[in-house]
Copies of this chain bind each other. A is one copy, B any other.
Amino acid sequence: MKAVAMPTVSRVAVCGGTHGNELAGIYLVREMLKKRADGTEPVSVVTVMSNSRAAQLCVRYVETDLNRCFTRAALSAPVSETSPYEMIRSQELNALLGPKASAQAVDLLCDLHNTTANTGLCLITYSDHDWICLHICKHLQREMASTPVRYVHFDIPLNEAYSLDSVGKHGFAMEIGPQPHGVVRSAIFSAMQEGVQLMMDWICQFNSGMLFEGGWVDVYTMVKNIDYPRDSETHVITAAVHPDLQDRDFCLLHPGDPMFLCFSGETLRYRGKEALYPFFINEGAYYEKGVALSLARKRRVQIPSVQRDRILREWD
């Protein structure tokens, strides 16, 4: 199979603190900001603290979830001084790193996140055929010895894509767990640091003209969310994730498997007809969103060999 020629990845954005209590990304961005660029870097990297107000308060957001404010509609909505802070901030970030879906947008946007779920490292994207993102995933899978790396795909059109990473020409959330919100665990910080470094290594090698062989990548495509059982009147949850399911992100869940253990003692089972892969199991920030876990279908995606476009090389 002939290598697909792709443009140089010249401008990269690494963002942290899009959620102000996901601390590994916040401290990694702070470390990166300390190291001033000396102009000799092979790639232009802009490092951004996305929601510094929320980070200051160590809360997910101040007024509304910033990482839901990057739809086409939200980015073009009129804002004023009285708009929620994050609605204003998303437009600032779009001006800085985008505009979304324009030629001016950064080539790659990596947005750093943490989850209380036992996900390992996930690259979360809106595309199952973004060869750059898929090759970076393959590179991380090859190089990271102690962290499982997975590719998660939300099948949503770009206009409706709501997260910061959708502003870049290529982009993903780099999501690592488990880590409590408001806590930084050294091993999670180190995994994130390694993940970002490996991403940069890959980009530099790609830009230098290296050919990356194609192959296969497992892609987990999000199918649906499952909410907690709730009291019909108060909407208060009446069960926690079952101990047999807790921490088993990306382990196949079969029909009939235990899903919740009610506070009253009763076990509730998965009633779906299809075995699916659970992820974001018991993510703390999703109680308010009505999500106890998400379910994905896995398939193997063949990715082509890629190489930097040779024509572009002459322009640099």
Question: Is residue A282 within 8 Å, beta carbon to beta carbon, of the partner chain?
Answer: yes
CB-CB < 8 A to A242: which residues of B?
Answer: 186
* A53 lies within 8 A of chain B by Cβ: no
Stretch of A126-134, A176-184, A293-301, A306-314 contacting B (4+ beta carbons < 8 Å):
A176-184
| A209 beta carbon closer than 8 Å to chain B | no
Q: What residue of chain B has the Cβ atom nearest to residue A30's Cβ?
A: B236
A242 vs B187: C-alpha distance when bound (angstroms): 8
For chain A, residues 173 to 195, give those with C-beta under 8 angstroms from any C-beta of chain B.
178, 180-187, 189-190
- Determine whether the beta carbon of A246 is less than 8 Å from that of B27: no
Q: Is A232 an interface residue (CB 8 A)?
A: no
Q: Do the beta carbons of B116 and A186 come within 8 Å of each other?
A: no
Contact size range, A: 20 to 34
B284 pairs with A240, CB closer than 8 A:
no
Q: Which of B28, B187, B189, B241 contacts A186 (CB 8 A)?
A: B241
| Residues in B whose Cβ lies below 8 Å from that of A261 | 186, 190
The reply on A315 being an interface residue by CB < 8 A is: no
Tell me, rounded to whole Å, the shortest Cβ–Cβ distance linking A97 to chain B. 24
Residues of B within 8 A of A183 (CB): 116, 180, 282, 284, 287
Q: Is A58 an interface residue (CB 8 A)?
A: yes
| Interface residue ranges of A221-257 to B (CB < 8 Å) | 236-237, 240-243, 246
Task: Let me know if A186 and B31 touch, CB within 8 A.
Answer: no
Chain A residues 16-72 with CB under 8 Å of chain B are: 27-28, 30-31, 58
Answer whether A180 and B31 are a contact pair too, CB < 8 Å, given A187-B243, A242-B186: no
| A287 vs B178: C-alpha distance when bound (angstroms) | 19
Interface centre among A31, A184, A282, A287 (most CB of B within 10 A): A184
Question: A264 interface residue, CB < 8 Å from B?
Answer: yes
Q: Which one of A282, A284, A285 has the highest number of Cβ atoms from chain B below 10 Å of its Cβ? A: A284
Q: How many Å lie between the Cα of A160 and that of B256 in the bound state?
A: 54
Residue of B nearest to A236 (CB): B30
When distances are taken between beta carbons in the complex, the residues of chain B under 8 Å from A58 are 287-288
Closest chain-B Cβ to A182's Cβ sits at a distance in Å of 4
**Which residues of the partner chain B approach A246 to less than 8 Å between Cβ atoms?**
185-187
Give chain B residues whose Cβ lies under 8 Å from the Cβ of A287: 58, 182-183
- 6 inter-chain pairs at a CB distance below 8 angstroms, sorted by A residue, are A58-B287, A178-B180, A182-B284, A183-B282, A184-B237, A185-B246
* 12 extra A-B contacts, CB within 8 A, seeds A28-B263, A185-B246, A187-B246: A30-B263, A31-B263, A116-B180, A180-B181, A181-B181, A183-B287, A184-B237, A184-B240, A186-B240, A186-B242, A186-B246, A189-B240
